[in-house]
Amino acid sequence: METTRLAGIWSQRKVLDTLVRRDLRVRYARSWLGYVWTLIDPLAMGLVYFFVFGVLFGRTTGSDDLVFIVYLLAGMLPWNWFNNSINETARALYAERLLVRSTNIAREMWVIRVVIAKGIEFLLSLPVLVLFVVLILFGADLGSGNLSLNERLIAIVPALLLQFVLCVGMGLVMAPVTALVDDFVRIVRIVLRMLFYFTPIVYSMELVDDKLPWARDLMVWNPLVGIMDMWRVGLSGKVGVDGWAWITATIVSFAWLAFGLWVFRKLEPAVLKEI
Amino acid sequence: MTDVVEWRTAPDQPVITVEDLGIEFLRGRKRKLSLREMIYRGGTSHNKETFWALRHVSFEVGRGEAVGLVGGNGEGKSTLLKMIAGTLLPDEGRARVREGVAPLIELTGGFIGELSARENIYLTAGLHGMSTEQVDERFDQIVEFAGPQVRDGIDKPFRHFSSGMQVRLGFAVITCLDEPIILVDEVLAVGDKAFREKCYDRMEALLEQGRTLFLVSHSEGDLKRFCTRGLYLKGGAVVQDGDMDAVLDQYNDDIMSQS
């Protein structure tokens, strides 16, 4: 059943292109500043976290680790994609109910399109990370630490793929549930805020091993731990690959996709009656 | 709109097959659940009573047939239409539609106020399965049909259009989709008197090409003008399926005997 649904989605991928273009056009049509916002937002937040954790708390990564500001951005930018995807997919069906009611495309598209549109915005925000990498490579002193680009940068490809699978899977659960249950969005927001701190973005897993050794075994089931690690290994030759986290990230992401497809199919008739 | 309809099915194969179709709704208006309520009351307060809007509905529609759906308010006409359009899913049985569908339902639903009319045409047509090249081909035709006011404002944000112009554009896009099956929910003709005439002409032209029409309407004039076959829905079931005039007579008799 799920495979035939997937085949149906694949056969309609052209519509996906239309939907994503529409999303991006709506986002960037209103003001020429549109693209600048995509850069300013992560830049501002990155600087805030940098001053709080990097400067005030004096969090230096040491010579064996990635420079903190790069470490931070390499975690925060993918996090923003994840965060925006989940928040937006939760509203995906309800916000577009007029369209959902009047067109007969595979309804999963409404979720997938959000993840892709947010993914493109995320890719457009990557110059922020590139900027800091270039600054440091050219000798700017932005804190102690290592920065040595290496061939493991290729791990970004599976990182993107896994995060896409994860976001689609979770989004397929969020969208129908929020369409049926009014205040589910509030819980999602709280969980997301907690998850931000349960993901190694402003701290590293080494710090967890150091202070709370037992927590690693739990945290490793957060697929973002592995995904963040994939982002960072290519930026410094001294960062080791966290093999277990990569494996659990893969398992958990695809498990979410399977679960999401199942939930979506179960709830779809009820959602259509409701919206 | 091209003159030749491209069919995927064999000429004698039904294009719509509805088998033992049923759909169940909650009687209470409020269906949306709230977690707060679930936790406080250990359950939900909403009415769990359900009713079947349609049940055990079966029929077939062939190529080139023009079917009119007749029935009072709340007898499931629009619900049936939406299940054929695929925007509602049945709880029992199924509706198989073997050809593409152009749904004249919620005409302006797909348009976005922020974007220009031009962009909206491409987007809406794209959502109904047209490729960019196909829209390119038909773009002038769509704009011409929608009228000169729409042409003048083609690159203005859609929200500056009057509501009349909005539905005119919606009608123009959907009727240019070139799908073999046309589903109409009351909105057979929109806009001012002159434009309504254009809509009727367009509908007649589409039917002459041998397309299949499924029309929900309360207008006896429209039903008699366009439809040859009638389906009479009452109490969630098809009570009569036959010649349009005969079905309308039966429907009128039922109304007279009730009052």
Q: What is the pLDDT of residues A79-95, one digit of tens each?
A: 999 999 999 999 999 88
Q: Work out the minimum CA distance from A180 to partner chain B, whole angstroms.
A: 5
The pLDDT confidence band at residue B42, using thresholds 50, 70 and 90, is low
Residue B213, in any domain of the structure = yes
- Does A18 contact B33 at a Cβ distance shorter than 8 Å? no
Please tell me the distance from the alpha carbon of residue A98 to that of residue B112, in angstroms, as a whole number. Answer: 11
Nearest CA in chain B to A94: B32
The least confident of B15-24, B26-35, B88-97, B242-251 is B26-35
Q: Count how many domains chain B has.
A: 1
pLDDT at position A125, please? 92
What pLDDT, on a 0 to 100 scale, did the predictor assign at position A32? 67
Percentage of chain B lying above the pLDDT 90 cut: 20
Q: With H, G, I as helix, E, B as strand and everything else as coil, classify residue B43.
A: coil
Which of B25, B119, B126 has the CB atom closest to A15's CB atom?
Answer: B126
Contact in structure between B79 and B23 (CB atoms under 8 Å): yes
Are A74 and A228 within 8 A, CB to CB?
Answer: yes
Q: Are A91 and A171 in contact (CB under 8 A)?
A: no
Q: Which residue of B has its CA nearest to A181?
A: B33
Lowest average pLDDT, out of A156-165, A205-214, B176-185, goes to A205-214
Amino acid at the residue B161: F
**Does the beta-carbon distance from A102 to B86 stay under 8 Å?**
no
CB A147 within 8 A of CB A139: no
**Residue written as token pair 């399977």:** A258
Task: Give me the count of residues in chain B.
Answer: 259
Render pLDDT for A161-172 as a digit per residue (tens, 0 to 9). Answer: 999 999 999 999
Q: What are phi and psi of B67, to 5 degrees?
A: -105, 130
CATH number at residue B49: 3.40.50.300
Identify the DSSP state of B30. Answer: -
What's the pLDDT score for residue B49?
A: 75
Let me know: does B95 contact B18? Beta carbons within 8 Å: yes
Query: Rounded to an integer, what distance in angstroms lies between the CA atom of residue B212 and that of residue B214?
Result: 7
Residue B3 belongs to some domain of the structure: no
Give residue-wise pLDDT tens across range B212-248.
999 998 888 889 989 999 999 988 889 899 899 999 9
A14, A99, A184 ranked by CB distance to B110: nearest: A99
| Residues of chain B in Cβ contact (below 8 Å) with chain A | 23, 25, 31-36, 82, 85-91, 101, 103, 105-106, 109-110, 112, 114-115, 119, 122-123, 126-129, 131
Flag whether pLDDT at A188 surpasses 90. Answer: yes
Smallest Cβ distance to A104: which of B34, B87, B109? B87
Residues contacting B254, CB < 8 A, separation 6+: B234
Query: What SS3 state is found at B157?
Result: strand
Length of chain A: 275
Lowest-pLDDT range, A47-56, A85-94, B176-185?
A47-56
pLDDT, position A190: 94
Alpha-carbon Rg for chain B in angstroms: 20
- Residue A122: pLDDT over 90: yes
- The answer to whether position B6 is within a domain reads no
Find, among B20, B34, B67, the residue nearest to A187 by Cα: B34
Range(s) of the domain holding residue B165: 16-258
Q: 3-class SS at B230?
A: strand
Mean pLDDT value of segment B188-215: 86
Q: What is the pLDDT of residues A197-253, one digit of tens each?
A: 999 988 888 888 888 888 888 888 999 999 999 999 999 888 888 889 999 999 999
Higher pLDDT, B164 or A226: A226
* Domain count along chain A: 1
- Nearest neighbour of B85 by CB, restricted to A104, A180, A184: A104
Smallest Cβ distance to B33: which of A29, A30, A181?
A181
B46, pLDDT greater than 70: no
pLDDT of residue A261: 95
Cβ(B199)–Cβ(B188) below 8 Å:
yes
Examine the pLDDT at A76 and tell me if it is beyond 90. Answer: yes
Question: Which chain A residue is nearest to residue B131, measuring alpha carbons?
Answer: A14
Task: Measure the CA dihedral A44/A50/A56/A60, to 10°.
Answer: -170
Q: Can you give the pLDDT at residue A275?
A: 78
Gap between the Cα atoms of A29 and A136, Å rounded: 35
ipTM above 0.85, yes or no: no
Output the pLDDT for position B176: 87
The whole-chain average pLDDT of chain A stands at: 88
DSSP labels for A185-245? HHHHHHHHHHHHHTSTTSS-HHHHHHH-TTHHHHHTTSHHHHHHHHHHHTT-TTSPP-HHH
For residue B148, which of B115, B192, B99 has the smallest C-alpha distance?
Answer: B192
CA distance B139 to chain A (A): 17
Instruction: Give A141→chain B minimum CA distance, Å.
Output: 45
Which residues fall within 8 angstroms of residue A63, CB to CB, at 6 or more apart? A144, A145, A146, A238
Contact residues on chain A for B101, CB-CB shorter than 8 A: 104
Beta bridge partners of A49: none
As a whole number, mean pLDDT of residues A120-135 equals 92
**Average predicted confidence (pLDDT) for chain B:** 85
Domain membership flag for residue B150: yes
Residue B78's pLDDT is 87
Would you say B46 and B25 are in contact if contact means Cβ atoms under 8 Å apart?
A: no
